[in-house]
Structure 1
């Protein structure tokens, strides 16, 4: 029962404060020359920006962007409360007040857009990079990278080369030796015959 009464009291207090602030913002906007529905739109704009900034702080944690727009909207609400308490002559408002009220829609639009569309920062644990690096090193030790040449030789050992192709390769190798004085290497043989690397290794093994 006590908890329920306390919560109800807090809600009533919030409603009273919100209603007073809403009325003060309306009166200030009306005094600055905003009439009709426009005067009522100003307190809605201020309160929505305040709520959006507060929700951003609650959901995504502390950030400069959220705190900036929370303080801007809080200052606008607090300023209206103070201005309507007799500190300003609302019958003849100063030029800076008219300027501020006229420029508020653009400010509120900018703040709402930034709060809605700015990416939220992601917080990564300090231990994750170290753990990931450790796992990578373990994998590198446990599974060494395969030797491409060794893989080609293993494949070549299972290839059966047609006799005609071996005979043609002998002629190509003899021609290469007569021109260069050096035995033909596997890469040159592969290029001259136009065969894959495993096939070239299999042919070279029969020419040796």
Structure 2
């Protein structure tokens, strides 16, 4: 137990040190690029928040091109500041292209944070097994000829009435995966937050891309 606690504490201390150094490097680069005062301190906060938001999207919703794209952008911004302040760049004579990148970062970070917060997660719709066709009872064959030895004046014996075919039990609806139900609940909550009204079955089916029968089953579980 003591070794585990010591290892966790060491990891936390290392994370704090690395975060503080990266924070300082981003601040120094922003200040050298002409962003003085409180603006220089806001740049490292913006980069780190975008990095954390994209990583949280990857951990909670699974891999996606959107989350990976903004995670790489934030990571490059953080690593670039660390490398630029390591003596490879004269902070007294910052090139114009770097000033342009630093000045354009707020708009880029705002767009990335908005897309990560409001873009729906794309999950492939589960394959629904095709229902087997209902077996139809074979029709009873009717005799076309009169048996030998029976004349037309004699009455032919009445054929026994065919027994009704047993009712075929309806196959139960296929089980809905828990991951699909959770994703549908997020879609429904997002729809209600944006429109103020619960999501209907047709909209839910269109957002999930599933057949109508599966959409009805999911809507019943969300009710």
TM-score (norm: length of structure 1):
0.63
* SS in structure 1 at match of 2:75: helix
Question: Residue 117 of structure 1: CA displacement?
Answer: 0.5
Corresponding residue number in structure 1 for 2:8 = 7
What corresponds to 1:32 in structure 2? 33
Give 1 or 2: higher helix fraction.
Answer: 1
User: Structure 2: 5+ residue runs without aligned partners?
Assistant: 137-166, 171-223
2:96 corresponds to: 95
Q: Match of 1:118?
A: 119
CA distance in 1, matches of 2:90, 2:103: 18
Report runs of 4+ in structure 1 exceeding 6 Å deviation: none
- In structure 2, the residue matched to 1:62 is 63
* Paired position in structure 2 for 1:134: 131
Quote how far apart the aligned CAs of 1:124 are. Answer: 3.9
Larger radius of gyration: 1
TM-score, L = length of structure 2 = 0.59
Partner in structure 1 of residue 50 of structure 2: 49
SS state at 1:134 partner: coil
Matches of 2:62 and 2:109, distance apart in 1:
21
* d(CA) in 1 for partners of 2:100, 2:135: 65
Instruction: Specify the SS of the correspondent of 1:142.
Output: coil
What is the alpha-carbon distance in structure 1 between the residues aligned to residue 108 and residue 31 of structure 2?
19
Shift of 1:121: 1.7
Alignment partner, residue 21 of structure 2 = 20
- Provide the C-alpha distance between the structure 2 equivalents of 1:39 and 1:33, rounded to a whole number of angstroms: 8
Hey, what's the Cα distance between the residues in 2 that align with 1:139 and 1:41? 70
What is the total number of aligned residue pairs between the two structures?
139
